[in-house]
Structure 1
Amino acid sequence: MEQHTARPPGRTGFAASMLRRKPVEAFVDEGGVGQGGTLRRTLGLTQLTTLSIGATLGSGIFVILGEAVPVAGPAVVLSFVLAGITALFSALSYAELAGMIPLSGSSYSYAYATLGELVAWVCGWCLVLEYGVSVASVAVGWGQYLNELLQLAFGVAIPDALSQPPGDGGIVNLPAIAVVVLAMFLLLAGAKESATANTVMVLVKVVTLVLFCAVAFTAVRAGNFSPFLPMGLAGLSAGGAKLFFSYIGFDAASTAGEEARNPQRDLPRAILLSLGIVTVLYCLVALAAVGALPWQQFDGEQAALSHVLTTIVDNKLWAALLAVGAIVAISSVVLTVLYGQTRILFAMSRDGLVPKALSKVDPKSGTPRVNTVVVSLFVGLLAAFVPLGKLADATSIGTLFAFGLVNIAVLLLRRRHPDLPRTFRAPLSPVTPVLGVLCCGYLMFSLDVATWIVFGCWMAAGLVLYFCYGVRRSRLATREAA
C-alpha cells in the first residue's frame, strides 16, 4: 500500500511539490471530515440517482434537438444512442472511482490521487468553469422559458431591460438572479431537503417529456422516417457530437460522495442508472419528434419540442404545459449543478488549495454555508450582468478534460493499487477507459478556435492563482514541512 507521503520518490524541490499525490488511503480516512466540520450522510440511491438526472436532463433536450435534427435527419435517434455510448465509457470509469473514493471532489479527487496536485488543481479549476458558468447559462434560459409561459398564459412578458444582461439589449437579468437565489435557499436548508425538492422537480420534468411523447406519437407518420439517413453516416456521427453535451451532468452523483448513506454501493449504481434513464427518455422524445414532423422543418427552431406541439396540435395548453416543464427542468439543473460546484470547492478547500472558509460546515444544517452563498452570488451576478457567449461554450472543454482525466485515473489505479476494494469495476478495462480518453479528446478538438482561446485564458488565470496561493497552502505541503 502507498504510504501517506506527499513527495514522489526521487524528486525534490518546487517541481516535486506540483507532482505530489494524495494517497487513496488518505481520501478514504478523511471520510468527509474537514477542518470546518463534517457533511451529513443523508442521501440514498433514489436521491443520488435523481441528483444526476436533475443535472443532466435540462434545457438540452428542449433546445439541442433542434440543432441536431437538421444535421442527422431521422437518424437523430441513433445519434442519441451514439452519444450515450460515448458518455458510457466515462460513466463506467466514474462508477469505479466513485465506489473507491466516495468523497465530494469528484474528478478533482481522482486526479489528486493519481496524477498529482497540479493536474488536480487544473481539473478542479475546469470543474469551476463547467459548473459555475454552465449554471449561469442555464439560469439565463430559465428567464426565456418564463417569458414564453407568461406570453402563452397572460399575453405579457418581462421587458428585455429586466430579463437580459447588458450587451444583449437589457440592464439586468432578474429572472436569472431569482432562480439562483431560490436554489441557494434550498441548498442552505440541507442536502436532504434540497435532494427531496430536486426529486419532485425531476418527476415533473420526466412526466412532461412523457406527455410530449404521448401527444407526438399520435401524429407519427411512417413517411417522416424516410430517408432515415439523409446525411449518411457522417450526419449520424455529427449529430452524436452535438448531442453528447446533453449528457453532461451524469457525474453529479459523484460530488455527493460524503453525503451518501452507502456511497460504495449506491454511487456507481446512481451514475449508471441515471445515464440509462436519460438515454431512454432522449431516444423516445427524438423518435416521437421526428416521427410527428418532417425533419426538414426543424431547421432554425431552437425550441424544437414547442415547435412540434404547436404544429401538430391546435391548442396552446400543451405548449404551456411544456413551458412549465422546461421551467421546472431548468430549476432542477440550477439546483443540482450549484450543489456540485459547492461540494467540489469544499474538497479543494479541505486540501488547502482555496480558502478554508469554503470548507466550514454549519452545525445546524450540515451544509457549507459560506461556500454556498459565495458560489450563488458569483453565479447570480454572472447570469445577471454578463453576456456569456463563447464563455458558455468553453464549459464543454472543461467537462471533457475532466472526463478524460477520470478515464486515465482508472488505468493508473488499476496498475498502482490492483488490490484496493472496488465495489464496481469498469468492464473490459483497459479498453473502455482508453476509448473514453479518445472520445473526449476527439470532441475537444472538434470545438472552434474561439472556445479554445477562452479556455486557455481561464487556465492561465487558474495557474496564476495556484502558484500564488495553493501550492504553498496545500495541506500536503504542511505535512511535508512537518
Structure 2
Amino acid sequence: MEKDVRRRPHGTRRLGVLTGSVLLLGAVLGPGALSLPTLAADAAGPASLLAWALLLLAGIPVAATFAALGGTFPDGGGVAHFASLAFGGRTAGAASWWFLAAVPLGVTAAALMGGHYVAAAVGADPGVAVGVGLGLLAASFALNAVGLHTTGRVQVVTAAVMVTLLVVTVAVSLGDVRAGSFTPFAPHGWSGVGVAATVLFFAFAGWEAAAHLSADFADPGRGLRRATALTVTVVVVLYLGLAVVTLGVLGPAAGRDPAPLLTLLQRAVGPAGTAPATVAALLLTFGAINAYLASGARLGAALGRDGALPRWLVGRTTPGREPRRSLAFLAACCLVVAVPVLGGVVALDGLVRATSALLAAVTLVGTLAGVRLLRGRQRTTAVVASAFLAVVLLCCGALLALPAAVGAVAALTERRRRASRRPAPARP
C-alpha cells in the first residue's frame, strides 16, 4: 500500500471529508434521478417505493465496502485494481470489459434523459428529445477530443446544482402529496418490484467511484469512510423524498411522465420552475456523459495497450495525449446503440436495464474482491453487499446474457493474447 501512495504525484492527495462527499454525490446523484422515478413507477406503481427503500438500504454495505477497499488499498484503478489483487488479471479484464460495454449504453440513456427534459419543457415532440440527446453526446465527444474533460471543480458544481434541485422539488411538493395516490399499491404484482429494482440500480452504480477517489484523500482510511457516510445519508434522504413526492403528487401519471421533476416544480411554482429545472438537467446530464466518456476512452486505450483490444481500433495510452482513437470507437458504439432507439425498437428503459446489468456485474466483482481482501467486520459487510448484488443480477433475468457474452469475449481475447505471447516450439 505504501508503494502505491508514493507513486502518486506530490500534492494530489488533498481531498477532505466535505470536498470528497460532494464529489461522491456527483457520482451517485447522476442523471438517473431525472427519469428513474417514472421508469420505476411504470414497472411497479407505488410498490416501487419498496424497490427504492431496498436499494437505499442495501446500498449502505456496498458503499461501506468500497470505502473500506479504497481506504486499505488506495489506488485510482478502482474495481479493476481490487479484482487484480484478489483474483488476478483475467477477472480484472472482464470487469474492465463490462465497464467499457456499459459506457455507450449508459451515456446514450443519460443523453436521452436530458433530451426528454428539454422536449417536455418546450412542449416539443420526441424527435426534439432525441436531437437534443445526440447534441449532448456530440458536444461531449468534441470536448473530450480536445482534452476538456470534466474536472473536480465541474463535478462540485454539478453535484451542488442537483442537490439544490432535489431539495427544492421535495420541499415545495410535500404539501401536495395525497394518500389516495398510493392505491392500488402494486398494480403490476410483486414481480414488478424486482423489475423496478433492476432499473433503479442505474442510480446506485456510482458507489465504486469512492475507490477511484481513494488515493486523492489526505487520509484515505478515515477521510474516505467519513465522506462515504455523509454521502449515504444525503442520498437516502433525497432519493426517498423524491420517490414519495413523485408518486404522492402525480399518482398514476407518475409512470407516464417523462420529466417528473419538471412537472413537480411547475405544479408548485408555475412556469418559473421550467428554466432552472431544464438548465440543471442539461448541466447534470452533460457532466455525467463527459465523465463517463473520459473514463471509458482511457480504459479502451489501456486495453489497446495491453493487447486486450486491437490497437488499430482503440489505439493505446500515450502520456500527454488524448485517447482520440478510443473516443472514435466509443462514438461508433453510441451510433450503433442510437439506431434502434431512433427506429423505436429499443426504449429508454431497455438501455437503462442493460447498463444496470453490466454495472451490477462490475460492482459485484468489486464487493467479492472485498470478501477476499478485507477482514473482520469489513469482510462481513462485503459478504452482505455481494449477496445483495447477486440478487440484483438475478432480477436482471434475460439481460444476464449481456455481461455473460461480454465476459466470454473478454476471456477469449485474453486467451488468444496469452497464446500469441508463448514462444514457438523449437524445431528439432
Q: TM-score range by the shorter chain?
A: 0.7 to 0.9
Pairing partner for 1:177 from 132, 138, 154? 138
- Measure, in 1, the Cα distance between the counterparts of 2:63 and 2:130: 42
Match of 2:247 in 1: 290
1:203-214 correspondence runs (5 A): 203-214=160-171
- Distance 1:358-1:272 versus aligned 2 partners, 3 A rule: farther
Give the 3 Å change call, closer, same or farther, for CA 271–338 of structure 1 in structure 2. Answer: farther
Instruction: Using the TM superposition, give the Cα deviation of residue 108 of structure 1 relative to its aligned residue in structure 2, in angstroms.
Output: 0.9
Distance 1:159 1:301 in 2: 16
Whether the 8 Å contact between 1:142 and 1:176 is mirrored in structure 2 is no
Q: Does 1:437 align with 2:392?
A: no
C-alpha separation in 2, matches of 1:234 and 1:159 = 34
Q: 1:55 & 1:174 partners in 2: Cα distance?
A: 22
Q: Which moved more, 1:279-288 or 1:326-335?
A: 326-335
Aligned-residue offset at 1:239: 4.1
Q: Which amino acid aligns with 2:385?
A: G
Counterpart contact for 2:14–2:216, Cα < 8 Å: yes
- Given that residues 111 and 120 in structure 1 are in contact (C-alpha distance below 8 angstroms), is that contact kept between their aligned partners in structure 2? yes
Given candidates 259, 264, 273, the residue that maps to 1:303 is 259
Query: Is the aligned partner of 1:275 residue 2:255?
Result: no
Aligned residue identity for 2:22: T
| Alignment deviations for residues 3-49 of structure 1 (CA, whole Å, 9 cap, x no partner) | xxxxxxxxxxxxxxxxxxxxxx5xx5244749xx9994454444432
What is the aligned partner in structure 2 of residue 408 from structure 1? 368
Q: Distance in 2 between matches of 1:391 and 1:213?
A: 27
Cα deviation for residue 84 of structure 1 reads: 1.0
Match of 1:334 in 2: 289
Give the equivalent residue in structure 2 for 1:9: none
1:70-89 per-position Cα deviation (integer Å, ceiling 9, x unaligned):
55544544432211122222
Larger relative helix fraction = 2
Q: How does 1:146-185 map to 2 (within 5 A)?
A: 146-149=118-121, 151=122, 163=132, 173-182=134-143
- C-alpha change, 1:157 and 1:124, in structure 2 (3 Å) is closer
**Counterpart-to-counterpart distance in 2, 1:186 and 1:206:** 28
2:407 & 2:263 partners in 1: Cα distance? 39
The equivalent residue for 2:276 is 321
Cα deviation for residue 98 of structure 1 reads: 0.7
Matched-pair contact (CA < 8 Å) for 2:198–2:396 = no
Unaligned runs of 5+ residues in structure 2 are 423-428
Instruction: Tell me, in whole angstroms, the C-alpha distance in 2 between the residues paired with 1:139 and 1:161.
Output: 8
Report the aligned-residue RMSD: 3.9
1:2-81 alignment to 2 at 5 Å? 28-31=2-5, 33=7, 40-41=12-13, 43-74=15-46, 76-81=48-53
Matches within 5 A, 1:57-456: 57-74=29-46, 76-149=48-121, 151=122, 163=132, 173-182=134-143, 187=148, 194-225=151-182, 239-294=196-251, 296-310=252-266, 312-313=267-268, 315-341=270-296, 359-362=317-320, 369-371=321-323, 373-384=324-335, 386-387=337-338, 389=346, 393-414=353-374, 426-427=377-378, 429-430=379-380, 432-449=381-398, 451-456=399-404
Classify 1:79/1:460 alpha carbon distance in 2 versus 1 (closer, same or farther; 3 Å).
closer
Matched residues, number:
411
Q: Kindly provide the CA deviation profile for residues 257-284 of structure 1, in whole angstroms up to 9, marking residues without a partner as x.
A: 3444433333333334323322211111
Contact persistence 1:115–1:409 (CA under 8 A): yes
Name the CA shift for 1:319/1:77 in 2 (closer, same or farther; >3 Å): farther
Change (3 A) 1:289 1:90: same
The 2-side partners of 1:375 and 1:260 are apart by 29
Q: Secondary structure at the match of 1:108?
A: helix
Query: Once the 2 structures are TM-superposed, how far is the Cα of residue 200 of structure 1 from its aligned partner?
Result: 1.0
SS at match of 2:383: helix
Distance 1:409 1:359 in 2: 26
Instruction: Decide whether aligned partners of structure 1 residues 345 and 32 sit closer, same or farther in structure 2, where only a CA change above 3 A counts.
Output: farther
Q: Deviation at 1:156?
A: 10
Letter in 2 for 1:141: M
For 1:301 and 1:175, how far apart are their aligned partners in 2? 22
Contact 1:220 1:288 (C-alpha < 8 Å) held by counterparts: yes
Residues 265-313 of structure 1: per-residue CA shift (max 9 Å, x gap)? 333333343233222111111222233233x222322322334445x35
SS at match of 2:176: coil
Moved more, 438-447 or 105-114: 438-447
In structure 1, C-alpha distance between the alignment counterparts of 2:128 and 2:180, rounded to whole Å: 42
With over 3 angstroms needed to count, the CA separation of the structure-2 counterparts of 1:401 and 1:299, relative to structure 1, is closer
Indicate how the Cα distance of structure 1 residues 162 and 463 shifts in structure 2: closer, same or farther if over 3 A, else same: same
State the one-letter code of the partner of 1:177.
A
CA distance in 2, matches of 1:57, 1:471: 43
| 395 and 288 in structure 1: CA distance in 2 versus 1, 3 angstrom threshold | closer
Structure 1: 5+ residue stretches without partners: 1-24, 165-172, 363-368, 419-424, 475-482
SS at match of 1:315: helix
Q: Distance in 1 between matches of 2:202 and 2:69?
A: 22
Distance 1:240 1:320, change over 3 A: same
Question: What is the CA–CA distance in structure 1 between the aligned matches of 2:77 and 2:413, rounded to whole Å?
Answer: 19
Q: CA shift at 1:94, angstroms?
A: 1.0
What is the Cα deviation at residue 122 of structure 1? 0.8
Q: Does residue 417 of structure 2 align to residue 466 of structure 1?
A: no
- Is this contact kept in 2: 1:353–1:471, CA < 8 A? no
TM-score by length of 1: 0.72
